[in-house]
């Protein structure tokens, strides 16, 4: 165990990838689909041996700055692991290119869930399991990394609460905690609830009527907010509204870092219902649901169908569920979502989902986007400025933490927001350079940066299909997904000239 | 009774004056020889120069056979240690300390002052008392002095009469008949600087300052009778966000009628502290004398401006400036009693003297026993005494008209159980009743004889 701990993070991740490959291999073996399973078994062997060899070669290597080396390893993991994961995938699907397989794996690993294989029956079940598993592991990866690597460096959203990165360090602090110890501790702390919640949701979904396989994929897609489902399925299949209620309950995990142990940094005594992120999320969901629902309802009244109470409630629920699902950057639409359109005869504004996906879920959760805490900081700052219009000399209350959040925190949030907006502009610009129209470019850019793959199918009037994209567009979107997943600030922290000149 | 008073500043000196005037054996301890000399020269007290918490100094002051120690130095910690030393070394039975810092007064830590921990029998917090005084001032804006008695069921109001008062030049006896349902009783009149207890045949004249004892539900009616209008106070500006200002703002927030208060505080950290502990109140950071800031706080439309910074002159100037800008009422906190005569000239409506408030509340605890409250009126010219009637008292079992009260004593109210009665001649006073009496200073010993309690009652 001690020897394992001294291994570089990347090697460990490679070994874990190899282990994970045994799951689809075993699944295929049980189903008798040896053609699908064999590449994964060989892949596990080869990558395992490779990891062992690199591990032996790099054992006892001590990087100069452990914290930065872990940040670097985290970003590099998004570059190195997807090709490794894509390799057996490519072997198992004879009629696909390696680039497509890489895009699929990258979108799974970043919990984006943008899929090229949405035609039912295109892939064997074991491969869908592999996609969902990679998404689930990707969710766990970012969960652990956010707590163990990003938060101590004041990245990943907590900088809004804690202030500027590396502001003051007392001279007597000679040693900081080894990130490897943190990684181990938090991984062991987070794995039981993460896996347990998944199991619980799976069980619940199966009880609600879902098939075992679809239920498992749904559970993993919910907990990791990847939204990866087999065979191009969108949302629940047989479990209906009860399944959706269950999923909605677990989507709250992606709204606040309090859902998991170890995520309570400071202000642990604040009751959950007073958590700013949760309140912000509830306010957003309530208002967006209200607006969308009223719009449909008025449309339905004009259609003389507004008096149908069952339809009304079903549309209300499906609007709320879809809103929550896109806010957490999961992107599972409600089953009845399409009927809302028929009910009212109105098109839905996909734009509002793009907005929700940009806002994103909670800090240090599996969700992407700008993150609720930053939006909250900006909101409080705006509120405070309104007060100052009336009383320019007034002092805001709420405690030192709230003041920090409104002042410096809002500034940090603003910087991040501008970086996010800039990256949207750059990605969209790059996509249009490949010959794409502006509308689909914008939709794809936002869905990649906010790690909400299914957004492409709902945001525009016509669904945008990833399968129809060119190789360059896929490469750009791949880069955007990594950028969206690890957050622009972390990438900048790594790329800062001071970093590589040292 | 032998009393040691530690600290001969304003509070210590005032207490010494009160207690020595009541034939107590008073010793004053202070480390400033000037202050000790001032006390010994002007009052019938002994003086010891030295640090109040040192056991040898206390012994010199006679702590071995002292009945009470009052620690009122400027330092909380010295006061605490003094009480501890007086308890542990000399076994002084009764210990009173003035503690300023609010952190020592958090109710959750009340246990601290138990006999086996830090033995302080009574903790006096000047800031808290001052905040209460300020609240009373705000509650009765047309008065120049207020104090509540009988668990808040009755109030003493000081009212300055002017030309348009409708009840001038009428004998008080007639007023009682005219307003028979009103529970108000005029207990004191100050005319031309002299305070006296009025006879039934006396009349009221313009420029009289009268003290009226009234049941709480009749306060507004009483003020109307004397030609004062009461307006609901909604906009209040508090200048100074220290302990006093903060306590007042908190008390205002706790009230059910939504009062829009604003606090102006100069120091930014202090303002942030105030903003954190208040929710509805708006805290402004800046100089309270700055007219722009005062206008930002809408001082021109304020119903009351409360100047409670730690500087007397600032308070007075703020009050004047606010009044000039259009505020209806201005109240200033004034520490220096010699500044008080200036206030009328400056058109400042009322003032709060924290030291007088502190003295008053310390005295209340000194006169323990059955005396429940004492309020010193004017320059210790008279007192309002609230006391429980003992079975041994000559008052018990007699009708009010049969009791030979001295000339300078008037009964304000009698409380039987939970009921407050107007003391007409045929009210019978029984054992256990609480009686509130106005007494001129010279008649206080006689009142104490009537109540069968003196300062020695422990």
CATH code (residue B377): 3.30.70.1450
Residue from the list A395, A399, A400 with its beta carbon closest to the beta carbon of B271: A395
For residue B248, tell me if it sits in a domain: yes
CB A224 within 8 Å of CB A140: yes
Residues B239 and B352 grouped into a single domain = yes
* Nearest residue of chain A to residue B267 (CA atoms): A395
CB A81 within 8 Å of CB A133: no
Whole-number pLDDT of residue A169: 54
Tokens of B54: 């040192």
For residue B421, tell me if it sits in a domain: yes
Count up the domains in chain B and report the number. Answer: 3
Tokens of A86: 């894509």
| Residue of A386, A397, A399 to mutate, testing the B interface (most B Cβ within 10 Å of its Cβ) | A397
Enumerate the residues of chain B whose CB falls inside 8 A of the CB of residue A399.
276
Residue B457 reports pLDDT greater than 60: no
- DSSP assignment letter at B62: T
Residues B311 and B381 grouped into a single domain = no
Whole-number pLDDT of residue A194: 92
Residue from the list B279, B285, B296 with its beta carbon closest to the beta carbon of A395: B285
Whole-number pLDDT of residue B444: 80
φ, ψ for residue B437, nearest 5 deg: -125, 140
Residues B327 and B249 grouped into a single domain = yes
Q: How confident is the model at residue B455 (pLDDT cuts 50, 70, 90)?
A: very low
Residues B23 and B50 grouped into a single domain = yes
Whole-number pLDDT of residue A172: 59
Residues B338 and B371 grouped into a single domain = no
Residues B15 and B119 grouped into a single domain = yes
| Residue of B246, B296, B298, B299 to mutate, testing the A interface (most A Cβ within 10 Å of its Cβ) | B296
Residues B92 and B15 grouped into a single domain = yes
Q: How close is the nearest chain B Cα to the Cα of A393, in Å?
A: 5
Range of the domain at B101: 2-124
Average pLDDT of the segment spanning B191-207: 85
Enumerate the residues of chain A whose CB falls inside 8 A of the CB of residue B285.
393-395
Residue from the list A392, A395, A398 with its beta carbon closest to the beta carbon of B296: A392
Using CB atoms within 10 Å of the CB of residue B458, give its burial: 0 to 12 exposed, 13 to 18 middle, 19+ buried: exposed
Pairing verdict, β B154-160 and B145-149: antiparallel
Enumerate the residues of chain B whose CB falls inside 8 A of the CB of residue A393.
284-286, 293, 296
Q: Which of B338, B356, B374 is the last residue of a domain?
A: B356
* Nearest residue of chain B to residue A403 (CA atoms): B272
Q: What's the Cα-to-Cα distance from A236 to each of A206, A209, A216, A245, A463, rounded to whole Å? A: 11, 10, 11, 11, 19
CATH code at B45? Answer: 3.40.50.720
Residue from the list B268, B279, B284 with its beta carbon closest to the beta carbon of A397: B279
Whole-number pLDDT of residue A267: 54
Contacts of B317 (CB under 8 A, 6+ apart): B289
Interface contact A397-B278, CB threshold 8 A: yes
Residue from the list A391, A400, A403 with its beta carbon closest to the beta carbon of B282: A391
Closest by CA position to B120, among listed B66, B82, B83, B93: B83
Residue B284 reports pLDDT greater than 70: yes
Whole-number pLDDT of residue B262: 92
Residues B323 and B376 grouped into a single domain = no
Residues B251 and B271 grouped into a single domain = yes
Whole-number pLDDT of residue B33: 92
For residue B225, tell me if it sits in a domain: no
Average pLDDT of the segment spanning B294-301: 90
For residue B179, tell me if it sits in a domain: no
pLDDT, tens digit (0-9, with 9 covering 90-100), for B407-440: 888 888 888 888 888 888 888 888 888 888 888 8
Q: In tens digits, what is the pLDDT along chain A, a chain of 502 residues?
A: 666 777 888 899 999 999 999 999 999 999 988 888 999 999 999 999 999 999 988 877 777 777 778 888 888 999 999 999 999 999 998 888 999 999 999 999 999 988 888 888 888 889 999 999 999 999 999 988 888 888 777 777 777 877 654 445 555 555 666 777 888 888 888 899 999 999 999 999 999 988 889 999 999 999 999 889 888 777 788 888 889 999 999 998 888 887 777 655 555 566 777 788 889 999 999 999 998 888 888 877 877 766 678 888 888 888 899 999 999 998 888 887 777 777 777 776 778 889 999 998 888 888 888 889 899 999 999 999 998 998 888 888 877 878 888 888 898 899 899 999 999 999 999 999 999 999 899 999 999 999 998 888 888 778 888 888 889 999 999 999 999 998 887 787 777 766 666 5
For residue B9, tell me if it sits in a domain: yes
Dihedral sign for Cα atoms in the order A366, A367, A373, A378: positive
Using CA atoms, how far apart are residues A450 and A378, in angstroms rounded to an integer? Answer: 18
Tokens of B106: 């958090």
- Cα angle, residue B67 at apex, residues B66 and B68 outer, rounded to 5°: 95
Residues B282 and B396 grouped into a single domain = no
For residue B34, tell me if it sits in a domain: yes
Contacts of A352 (CB under 8 A, 6+ apart): A288, A291, A292
Whole-number pLDDT of residue B367: 60
For residue B153, tell me if it sits in a domain: no
pLDDT, tens digit (0-9, with 9 covering 90-100), for B57-70: 999 999 999 989 99
Q: Where are the alpha helices (H) located in A167-230, listed in sequence order? A: 179-207, 212-223
Q: Which of B108, B124, B140 is the last residue of a domain?
A: B124
Using CA atoms, how far apart are residues B64 and B62, in angstroms rounded to an integer? Answer: 5
- Cα angle, residue B298 at apex, residues B297 and B301 outer, rounded to 5°: 145
Q: Is 0.90 exceeded by the ipTM?
A: no
Enumerate the residues of chain A whose CB falls inside 8 A of the CB of residue B273.
none
Q: How confident is the model at residue B10 (pLDDT cuts 50, 70, 90)?
A: confident
Residues B350 and B370 grouped into a single domain = no
Average pLDDT for chain B: 84
- Cα angle, residue B315 at apex, residues B314 and B317 outer, rounded to 5°: 65
Interface contact B278-A393, CB threshold 8 A: no
Q: Which of B323, B356, B389 is the last residue of a domain?
A: B356
Residues B373 and B299 grouped into a single domain = no
Residue B456 reports pLDDT greater than 50: no
Residue B454 reports pLDDT greater than 50: no
Pairing verdict, β B398-399 and B428-429: antiparallel
Enumerate the residues of chain A whose CB falls inside 8 A of the CB of residue B239.
none
For residue B198, tell me if it sits in a domain: no
CB A177 within 8 Å of CB A153: no
């Amino acid at each position: 165990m001690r020897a394992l701990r001294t291994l570089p993070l990347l090697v460990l991740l490679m070994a874990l990838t190899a282990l994970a490959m045994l799951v689809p291999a075993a699944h295929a073996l049980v189903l008798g689909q040896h053609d699908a399973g064999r590449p994964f078994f060989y892949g596990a062997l080869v990558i395992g041996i490779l990891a062992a060899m690199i591990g032996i070669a790099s054992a006892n290597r001590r990087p100069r700055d452990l914290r930065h080396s872990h940040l670097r390893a985290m970003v590099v993991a998004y570059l190195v692991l997807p090709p490794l994961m894509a390799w057996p995938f490519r072997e198992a699907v004879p009629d696909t290119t390696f680039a497509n397989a890489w895009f699929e794996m990258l979108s799974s690993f970043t919990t984006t869930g943008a899929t090229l294989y949405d035609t039912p029956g295109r892939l064997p079940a074991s491969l869908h399991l592999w996609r969902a598993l990679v998404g689930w592991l990707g969710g766990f990866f970012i969960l652990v990394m956010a707590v163990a690597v990003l938060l101590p460096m004041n990245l990943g959203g907590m900088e809004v609460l804690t202030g500027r990165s590396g502001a003051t360090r007392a001279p007597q602090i000679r040693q900081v905690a080894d990130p490897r110890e943190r990684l181990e501790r938090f991984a062991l702390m987070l794995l039981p609830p993460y896996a347990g919640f998944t199991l619980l949701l799976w069980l619940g979904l199966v009880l609600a009527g879902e098939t075992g396989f679809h239920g498992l994929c749904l559970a993993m897609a919910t907990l990791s907010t990847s939204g990866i489902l087999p065979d191009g399925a969108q949302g629940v299949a047989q479990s209906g509204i009860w399944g959706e209620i269950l999923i909605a309950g677990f989507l709250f995990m992606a709204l606040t870092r309090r859902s998991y142990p170890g995520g309570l940094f400071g202000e642990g005594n604040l009751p959950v219902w007073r958590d700013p992120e949760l309140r912000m999320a509830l306010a957003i969901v309530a208002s967006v649901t209200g607006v969308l629902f009223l719009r449909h309802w008025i449309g339905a009244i004009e259609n003389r169908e507004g008096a149908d109470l069952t339809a009304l409630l079903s549309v209300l629920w499906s609007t709320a569920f879809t809103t929550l699902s896109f806010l957490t950057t999961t992107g599972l639409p409600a089953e009845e979502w399409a009927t809302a359109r028929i009910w009212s005869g109105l098109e839905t504004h996909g734009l509002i989902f793009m907005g929700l996906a940009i806002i994103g879920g909670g800090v240090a959760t599996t969700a992407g986007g700008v993150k609720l805490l930053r939006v909250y900081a900006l909101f409080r700052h705006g509120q405070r400025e309104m007060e100052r219009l009336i009383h320019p000399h007034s002092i805001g209350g709420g405690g030192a933490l709230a003041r920090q959040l409104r002042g410096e925190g809002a500034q940090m949030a603003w910087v991040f927001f501008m970086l996010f907006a800039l990256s949207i502009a750059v990605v969209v610009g790059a996509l249009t350079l490949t010959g794409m129209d502006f509308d689909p470019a914008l939709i794809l850019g936002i869905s990649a940066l906010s790690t909400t793959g299914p957004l492409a199918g709902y945001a525009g009037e016509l669904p945008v299909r990833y399968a129809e994209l060119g190789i360059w567009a896929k490469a750009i979107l791949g880069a955007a997904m990594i950028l969206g997943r690890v957050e622009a600030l972390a990438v900048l922290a790594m790329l800062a000239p001071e970093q590589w000149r040292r | 009774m032998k009393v040691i008073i530690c600290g001969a500043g304003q509070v210590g000196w005032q207490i010494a004056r009160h207690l020595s005037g009541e034939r107590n054996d008073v010793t004053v301890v202070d480390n400033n020889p000037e202050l000790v000399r001032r006390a010994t020269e002007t009052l019938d007290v002994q003086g010891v120069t030295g640090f109040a918490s040192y056991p040898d100094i206390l012994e010199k002051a006679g702590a071995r056979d002292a009945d009470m120690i009052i620690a009122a130095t400027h330092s909380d910690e010295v006061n605490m240690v003094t009480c501890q030393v007086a308890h542990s070394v000399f076994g002084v039975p009764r210990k009173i300390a003035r503690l300023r810092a609010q952190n020592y007064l958090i109710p959750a830590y009340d246990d601290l002052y138990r006999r086996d921990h830090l033995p302080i029998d009574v903790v006096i917090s000047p800031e808290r008392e001052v905040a209460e005084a300020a609240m009373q001032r705000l509650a009765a804006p047309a008065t120049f002095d207020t104090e509540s008695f009988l668990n808040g069921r009755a109030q003493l109001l000081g009212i300055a009469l002017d030309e348009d008062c409708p009840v001038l030049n009428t004998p008080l006896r007639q007023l009682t008949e005219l307003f028979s349902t009103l529970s108000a009783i005029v207990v004191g009149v100050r005319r031309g600087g002299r305070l006296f207890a009025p006879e039934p045949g006396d009349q009221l004249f313009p420029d009289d300052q009268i003290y009226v004892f009234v049941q709480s539900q009749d306060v507004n009616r009483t003020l109307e009778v004397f030609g004062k209008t009461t307006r609901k106070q909604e906009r209040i500006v508090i200048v100074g966000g220290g302990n006093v200002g903060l306590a007042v703002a908190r008390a205002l927030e706790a009230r059910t009628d939504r009062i829009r208060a604003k606090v102006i505080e100069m120091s930014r950290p202090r303002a942030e502290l105030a903003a954190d502990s208040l929710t509805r109140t708006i805290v402004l950071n800046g100089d309270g004398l700055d007219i722009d800031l005062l206008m930002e706080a809408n001082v021109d439309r304020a119903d009351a401006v409360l100047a409670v910074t730690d500087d007397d002159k600032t308070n007075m100037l703020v009050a004047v400036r606010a009044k000039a800008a259009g505020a209806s009422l201005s109240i200033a906190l004034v520490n220096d009693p010699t500044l008080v005569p200036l206030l009328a000239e400056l058109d400042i409506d009322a003032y709060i003297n924290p030291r007088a408030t502190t003295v008053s509340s310390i005295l209340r605890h000194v006169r323990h026993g059955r005396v429940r409250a004492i309020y010193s009126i004017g320059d210790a010219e008279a007192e309002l005494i609230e006391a429980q009637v003992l079975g041994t008292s000559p008052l018990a079992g007699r009708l009010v008209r049969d009791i030979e009260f001295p000339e300078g004593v008037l009964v304000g109210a009698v409380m039987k159980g939970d009921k407050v009665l107007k003391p007409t001649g045929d009210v019978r006073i029984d054992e256990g009743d609480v009686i509130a009496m106005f007494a001129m200073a010279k008649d206080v010993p006689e009142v104490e004889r009537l109540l069968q309690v003196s300062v020695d009652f422990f």
